[in-house]
Amino acid sequence: MSQSDDLRRTPLHDLHLRLGARMVPFAGYSMPVQYAAGLVAEHKHCRAAAALFDVSHMGQVKLVGAGAAAALETLMPVDVLGIEPGRQRYGFFTNASGGILDDLMIARPAADAGFGDLLLVVNAGCKAADIQHLQSNIGTRCAVVPMPERALLALQGPQAVTALARLAPGVAGMAFMDAAVFDLAGARCFVTRSGYTGEDGFEISVPEEQALALAEALLAQPEVKPAGLGARDTLRLEAGLCLYGHDIDTGTSPIEAGLQWAIQKVRRPGGARAGGYLGAAALERQLSVGAPSRRVGLVGVERVPVREGAPIVDINGHRLGKITSGTITPTFDQPIAMGYVPVNRAQPQGEVYVEIRRQRLPMRITPMPFVPHRYRR
């Protein structure tokens, strides 16, 4: 795609231009990929201090009704009923064959918060399909209310709490995956202590007309600098986190993707609320006997970038799978990647090869995350 006038703009579009961002098309939006300092500097600043990301292209949807949690459990193998008020959980929609339609965050706001019974954040490229999926399947059991009037900011890094607590001291008491309402720069915001970088941090839902004032208040903090989609991608890859449409999709099961940790015991075979969701038969079979392939982390032996789509082969050139995400990591300056290989080739420290421009480059299977998570438990 080339930049064009038909791309949607987030409420911070003019701010991005003022800050010198390079804008690119992404999921139908004009989004900042990096600022003047560059991707590597933004990445390292997030690891050392605090970075502000505009993620307003993501979809926000609230479900309203006493039956919302039970209804949502018919679309995913996740314990939604068990989410306590003021908490958030990771989940995914599945299709009839057990593939992943989208992954998302599910929060249960406090009863008096005014943000519905459940608040969902879904991926930008999937939000229209997700809303239709929700309305078609559970729209008679709860109200499905898209929230395009709200922007979403992510403040990430070890000093994010220091910066945000100047605006609302109460955020310092939050733990990883807590969710609460705070007044920030005059705006009533729904805040979760979570993110997509592996670092401590917060995601902040704010009314779109107040997003600029909040972003400027955060950028005025000495710890905070802006960061774009480029750094967000390298950070999440170092953290071993999946990108929908690349590392997971409709042809990938949560078991293959190594996401079975997000299927709680109560929803597994033998659990009190096992089954009853799309793809249950396929996923319960894989939970019992295993999946044929597995998402693995890979570290390059040679310093050559490895990109999505590159074939993964054995020493004789027989195809094993393919790379789904790859980069040269800014943190330790080595090629890292994720990809899928047969389960019998997924053992840590095993060696495979990646074909790039008719060369066969060795890579070592490595446990993920590549960089340890630093969430505040």
* Domain 292-377 is found in CATH 2.40.30.110: yes
Q: Which of 192, 187, 181 is nearest to 213 (CA)?
A: 187
- pLDDT tens-place string over residues 242-294: 999 999 999 999 999 999 999 999 999 999 999 999 999 999 999 999 999 99
Q: What residues have CB less than 8 Å from 242, skipping those under 6 apart?
A: 103, 248, 257, 259, 295, 338
The residue extents of the domains of the chain are 8-54+149-238, 292-377
* Cβ partners under 8 Å of residue 344, min gap 6: none
CB 117 within 8 A of CB 65: yes
Residue 337 in 3-state DSSP?
strand
Q: Which two tokens stand for residue 184?
A: 């920030």
For residues 120 and 190, the answer to whether their CB atoms sit within 8 Å is no
Predicted pLDDT at 239: 98
- Please give the distance of CA 179 from its chain centroid, rounded to a whole number: 17
Backbone angles phi, psi at 345, to 5 degrees: -115, 10
Pick the CATH number of 8-54+149-238 from 3.30.1360.120, 2.40.30.10, 3.40.630.30, 3.40.640.10: 3.30.1360.120
Q: What was the pLDDT predicted at 4?
A: 54
Which tokens go with 360?
Answer: 């066969």
Nearest to 77 by CA among 288, 306, 253, 222: 253
Low-confidence ranges of the chain (pLDDT < 70): 1-5
Give the pLDDT confidence of 4-61 residue by residue, as tens digits: 568 999 999 999 999 999 999 999 999 999 999 999 999 999 999 999 999 999 999 9
What CA–CA distance (Å, rounded) separates 251 from 314?
23
φ and ψ at 306, to 5 degrees? -115, 125
What pLDDT does 358 receive?
A: 86
Which two tokens mark 306?
Answer: 């490895």
